Structure 1
Amino acid sequence: MSRTTKASRKTPTAKLKPAFHAVLFLPDALRELVGLSDEELRAALRNTVLRFLRVPVRPR
């Protein structure tokens, strides 16, 4: 078993925060999808992830 280092317990960086929040609130979102079939749930999750990936990046 590996030990957790202090560095790995730090607050997520600005680049990691969107993924952190997406994973953190996923259980709440899944409760609302409990009535979907496996195929419908798979499609909903796939579309959500693809939507995250399609967000345009603005130049700095």
Structure 2
Amino acid sequence: MEWFTDADYWLGRLLFQRGLAVVYLVAFVSVACQFRALMGERGLLARLDRHTADHQTESSAAQAA
């Protein structure tokens, strides 16, 4: 694998690494912005839990009737 460490490809490696770093940065910033909406008492996950509990209650009431 001499081509992998060849000094002639330093610019390509540098651009690839910086580009990959930008992709990771955008991904982590995106997750950080969405995290607040997903968690917490009024977040989406809490509403999903409440919706599931309500649905189970309705199913139990329908079966009892």
Higher relative contact order (CA 8 A, sep 6+): 1
When normalised by structure 2's length, the TM-score is 0.36
- What TM-score do you get using the length of structure 1 for normalisation? 0.38
Larger Rg: 2
